[in-house]
Structure 1
Amino acid sequence: MAEETGSNTLTRPGIESWSNLSLLIGGEMTEGRGETLDVVDPATERVVATIAGADAAQADLAVTSAREAFEAGPWSSATPAERSALINRIADGIEKRRDEFVNTIVTELGAPISTAGALQVDWPIKHLREYAQAALDDRSQDLGLHTDPAPSRSVVEYRPVGVVAAIAAYNYPLLLLVHKLGAALAAGCTVVAIPSPRTPLSTLLLGEVLREADVPAGVVNVVVGEVDIARAVTENSGVDKIAFTGSVAVGEKVMRQAAKGVRGVVLELGGKSPAILLPGTNLAAVVPGLHQRYCRNGGQACAAPTRILVHESQWDEFLELSHKAYESIQVGDPWDPATNVGPMITEAHRDSVEQFIREAVDGGAVVAAGGGRPASGPGWFVNPALVINVKNTDPICQEEIFGPVATAMPYSTVDEAVTIANETRYGLHAYLFGPDTDAAREIAPRLRAGTVSVNGGGGLRADAPMGGFGASGVGREIGSWGIHEYLEPQHIQWSCD
C-alpha cells in the first residue's frame, strides 16, 4: 500500500502529521481564531485533523497585508528576475516535501496513490516552473509612430492588477491554487489564498513552504474557513480580482460579489465534456482508456469525458468493449496501488452521484456497465457507471455530476454528433477519436470548447490555456494566457515633434 518515489516510500500517515498547521497572514504563521474545521478522510470516515479557521478580522487582516505588500512592500518594486526566483523557490519547496504533499492529498481527498503523486503534486511543480520562466518575458509592445493629428509614439506596457483572492476547489487542491498563485506572482500581484474547507491541509502545508521560501510578508496569505470567510475576502474592497474554481452556482455568486466595485474575475466552473468516437475508430484501442479517463480522481474532474457519442455502426462493439474495460477498474482503498477509483469527497456528494443515476433509471435509462457500491465497509465509495438509453436533454447528460459516471449515446451522422456535443451550457473540453487525425482535427473548430483533444491529445501542458465557453467560466488559466488575467495594459504615448 505504497507508491515508490525514488528512495522514499509513502505510507498512510498518522493524525499528528497535521497537528501544527496554521494560517499564514502577513508573513507570520498564525493560529486561527474562527470556527474549527474537521477534516475527514473520505476513505475511512475518520476525522484526521481539526483546524482552527480564520475569523472575520483575520480575513480582513490578510487582505490588508496583501494590499500593503503590493503598494509599499518590496514586492511592489520586485524585478521580473526576482519574481521568477521566488516562484522557483516555491516549486523547490514543494518538491522537497513532495511525499508530505502526496500523503496529505491522498488522505484529505481520497485520491488514489497510483496517480496522486503525478497529477496532484508533480503537475503543480511543473506549472510553477513554467510561471517562473514566463515571469521573465517582456510583454511590452511598441506601437510605433502615429501622425494624426500630430506625430506621436506609443508603447503598451502591462501592470499588475493588484490583490488577488484565489479560491481553489477540493478536487485538485494544490494544482488549482498554483494555477492562480503562480500566474498572479508572475504578474507582480499579491494573493490571499483560500482552499476548499473540505481539503485545507495541503494548502496549509503550502503556507509552510511559502514561509520557508522567504516570500516577503503579505505577498501570499493563506486563510481557511467555511463560505463566510471566503465571502469576507471576496467582498473586501481591498481585493482587485477574484479567481475561483468551483460550481456554476457559486461562480454566479462570486460574480455578483465582484460587481460591487467593478472588479474582475477569473472563473473555471466545470464541464460536461463530450467524446465523439468518429466512424471507423479503433474502439479496442480507445475504449479502455476513455473509461479510465472519466473515472480518474473518482470522476471529480472538470474535464472528464462524461458524454460519449458512438457511431451507430459500432454501438454493439462499444458496449461489449465497455463491459470488458469495467472489469479492470478497481474501486477501493486509495492507498492500494491497484486502486483506480477512490471515494467521493463527502457522504452527501456520494448520495448526489447516486441520485443522478437513480433518477435516470427511473426515467428509462439503463446502467450498461458498473453501478452500485463496492462491498460494505467505511468510506464514501461509489462504483463507476456507464448509463445508456438516455436523451441529451436528460439531467444526467446536462449536469456536472462530478463522479465516475458517463452516459453513452449512438449517433448516425457526424453532423448529428457535433450538434449533440454542443447542446450543453458548458464548453470546457471536448474529445475526438477517429482513424484519421487530420480529418478529426478539421472537426475541432466546430466544437464549442476551450480545449479539444484529438486521439488522446496530451497531458495538461503548463504553457497552454485552460478555460471554456459558456457556463464553463470566464477567462483562462495556465501559461501566458493565465498571467495576462492578472495584468492591466497601460498605453503610454508622447509627442515626438
Structure 2
Amino acid sequence: MTTTETDLRTWVPTTRELLIGGRLVAGEGPQIEAVNPATEQVTATVPTATIAQVDAAVDAARRAFPAWAEASPQERSAAISRMADVFEANVERLTASIVNEVGTPAAFAEVMQVRLGIVHLRWQAEAALVDRTVQLGPWHDPVLSYSEVAYRPAGVVACITGYNYPINLAVFKFGAALAAGCTTVLLPSPRTPLTTLWMGELFEEAGIPPGVINVLVGDGPSVGQHLTTHPGVDRVSFTGSDAVGARIMEQAARGLKGVTLELGGKSPNILLPGIDVAALARDIHLRWARNGGQGCAALARMLVHESLVDDFLTASREAFTALRVGDPWDRTVNIGPMIREDHRARVRSFIDDGLADGGEIVLSLDTPVPDRGYFVNPVVFAGLPHDNRLVQTEVFGPVGVVVPFSTEEEAIALANDTAYGLAANVYTPDVEHGRALAAKLRSGTVWVNGGGNMRPDAPFGGFGLSGVGREIGEWGIREYLEPQHVQWRP
C-alpha cells in the first residue's frame, strides 16, 4: 500500500463551516458527531445551524435568485461545468470521504458515488442551454392572437438529501435546480455531513455566485422543518424514507410548495424461465447487497419461477462466496457497514422477525464480520408469505427474499403487490417480451436483463409510496420550472 493510500484511509474533509451567502461561517447550533461506520470512531464534531442561520441561508438564496434567474443559459452552464471540473480534480479525496463517512467499499465508491455525480453535472450543464419555449401559433377566437409557453425558474429550492449517496443525491437536486435558474439551500443527512460541507467549499472554488448554493447541517428535525415551511422557499426536494417524506409533504403543504420526493422501494427482480441463473446469480446478489443494501432501488425481492428455484439457490450458494463483508478500503470487499448502530439493530430485527414468522434463511455468509464497525452479513429468506413484513417493507440492509411463482401473471401480480413502485427488473431470454412486460409493472424504472447505469438523461422516481415527481433528466429539471403562457395580438 502506498503512503497516499494509507493517508486516505483516515482522511476526512476539514471543512466544518456552513456556506451562507457565499461565506463559510461556523454553525451556531448544537454539535453533532461524524462517525466512521466501519471503525465506529468519531472522526469530527460538526457545529450545526440555528434557526436564524436557516433564515439567513434562505434570505441569501432569495437575494441571489433574480440575478441567477436572469443570467444567460451560457453563464449558468459554465458555472455548472466549473463545478464538475472541481469535483473531477478532487475525485480521489471525494472517494475517500465517501468511504470513511458512508462506509461504501472503495472499489464501488469512486465509480458509483463520485464519478457518476460528475457525469450528471456535465449533462446538467448542457441541459442549462436548452430553450424549452413552445410556440403554440395563432388562435382566431374571438380575435387573432398568438401564444407561446415559456418556462420560468420556480424560485428557491430546499434540497434535502439522504445519507447513502451524499454526492449523487445532492447533484440530482441542486444541479437540476441551477440549470433551471433556481437558487438552492442544501441540507444533508446529519449522519453524513462532512462530504456535503466540503462540497460547499468546492462550490466556492468553482466560483459559484454568492447565495446561489447555500449549505446547512442540522442536528435533528427542527432545522429541516423550518426549511421546508419557510415562506422564502418555493420548492422542496427530498430523498429518504416514505415516513419522513410524508411529514415533509405535510409541512410543505402549509405554504402550498411544490415537492419532489424520492422515497423508498421494495423492488422486484423477476426471473423468468429460460434464463441462465448460474451465469446471473453473482450479479443478481451483488446488485441488491451493494452499499450494504442501503439503496432505495435495491432489487432484494427476488421473484423466481418455480422451475428455476432449485437451480437458482444452487448457483446462489456459489455466488455468495463472491460477497465479502468488511473493511471498505480492502479492494476485495464489496459490502460495507450499516451507517450506525441503531440502523444495524433495525436490520437485525428484520432478520429475527423473519425467523420468528417461520421464514428460512436459505443463503448466508459463514465468514464472521469484523469486531468493529456496524456490519451485517447478507442473508436471503424463503418460505415467507408475500404479505410478511420482511417481504413488504424496505429493510435498507443486506436482506433479500426469494418468492416463487408459477405463472407470468402471478409474477406481475406479486411484483405490483407492494405499497412501493420505484424500480423493477425482468430477466428473460426474450428482450422484446421483457420490454412488453414493463407496461404491466407499476415501477418508475424497469430494467430488462439488468439494464445499465443510471443515465443522466432518464427520469428516476416511482409510484405509490416511492415518491412524488421525478428526478434526473429533462423531467428532473422541469420539477423546478413553472410554465408561463404569453399571448399577444399582432
Give per-residue Cα distances to partners, 1:120-168, cap 9 Å, x unaligned.
1000000000000011001000000111121111000000000000000
Partner residue of 2:53 out of 39, 53, 58: 58
**Distance 1:376-1:142 versus aligned 2 partners, 3 A rule:** closer
Give the alignment's TM-score, normalised by structure 1: 0.96
2: distance between equivalents of 1:245 and 1:175? 11
* Letter aligned with residue 453 of structure 2: G
Residue of structure 2 equivalent to 1:114: 107
Question: 2:5 and 2:125 mapped to 1: Cα distance?
Answer: 29
Q: Does 1:69 align with 2:69?
A: no
Superposed displacement of residue 10, structure 1:
3.8
2:200 is aligned to 207
Structure 1 residue corresponding to 2:237, chosen from 236, 243, 251: 243
Question: Which of 337, 342, 347 is the matching residue for 2:336?
Answer: 342
The answer to whether the Cα contact below 8 Å between 1:372 and 1:382 also exists between their aligned partners in 2 is no
Indicate whether 1:406 and 2:393 are aligned: no
* Cα contact 1:101–1:205 (8 A) shared by 2: no
Tell me the SS of whatever aligns to 2:439: helix
Aligned-residue offset at 1:15: 6.2
Q: Distance in 1 between matches of 2:91 and 2:75?
A: 24
C-alpha RMSD of matched pairs (Å): 1.4
Q: Which runs of 4+ in 1 moved over 6 A?
A: none
Deviations 1:252-308 (A, max 9, x none): 010011111111000000110000001111111211100000011110001110110
Name structure 1 gaps, 5 residues minimum.
Answer: 3-7
Letter in 1 for 2:89: K
How far 1:18 sits from its partner (Å)? 3.1
Pairing of 1:34-113 with structure 2 (within 5 A): 34-71=29-66, 74-113=67-106
1:59 alignment partner AA: V
How far is the alpha carbon of 1:13 from its aligned partner? Answer: 3.6
1:62-94 CA-partner distances (Å, limit 9, x unpaired): 0000011113xx323211010000000011111
- Distance in 2 (alpha carbons) for counterparts of 1:20 and 1:317: 52
Q: Percent identity?
A: 51
Aligned with 2:27: secondary structure? coil
The match for 1:397 is 391
* Structure 1 residues 261-272: aligned runs within 5 Å: 261-272=255-266
Number of the residue aligned with 1:320:
314
Give the match's secondary structure for 1:432.
strand
**1:325-474 superposed matches below 5 A:** 325-370=319-364, 374-474=368-468
Superposed displacement of residue 243, structure 1: 0.2
Of residues 374-383 and 149-158 in structure 1, the stretch that sits farther from structure 2 once superposed is 374-383
| Partner residue of 1:476 out of 445, 470, 477 | 470
Corresponding residue number in structure 1 for 2:22: 27
The one-letter code matched in structure 1 to 2:42 is V
> Aligned-pair distance for 1:373?
7.9
Say if 1:206 and 1:49 are closer, same or farther in 2 by CA, change over 3 A.
same
CA positional deviation for 1:375:
3.8
Counterparts of 1:138 and 1:243 in 2: how far apart (Å)?
24
Q: Which residue of 2 aligns with 1:308?
A: 302
Within 5 Å, which residues of 2 pair with 1:9-24? 10-13=5-8, 17-24=12-19
Given that residues 282 and 434 in structure 1 are in contact (C-alpha distance below 8 angstroms), is that contact kept between their aligned partners in structure 2? no
Cα separation, 1, equivalents of 2:70 and 2:33: 40
| Cα pair 2:12 2:96 within 8 Å, conserved | no
Contact 2:160 2:238 in 1 (8 A): yes
TM-score, normalization: structure 2?
0.98
The Cα of 1:21 is off from its aligned counterpart by: 2.9
Number of residues of Structure 1 aligned to a counterpart in Structure 2: 489
Q: Deviation digits for residues 220-254 of structure 1, max 9, x if unmatched? A: 00001122111121111100000000001100010
Does 2:130 match 1:137?
A: yes
Query: Structure 1 residues 225, 470: closer, same or farther in 2, change over 3 A?
Result: same
Q: Determine whether 1:194 maps to 2:190.
A: no
Separation of aligned partners in 2, 1:77 and 1:440: 45
Q: Equivalent residues in 2 for 1:159-308 (5 A)?
A: 159-226=152-219, 227-308=221-302
Distance in 1 (alpha carbons) for counterparts of 2:423 and 2:351: 23
What is the distance in 2 between the residues matched to 1:99 and 1:371? 31
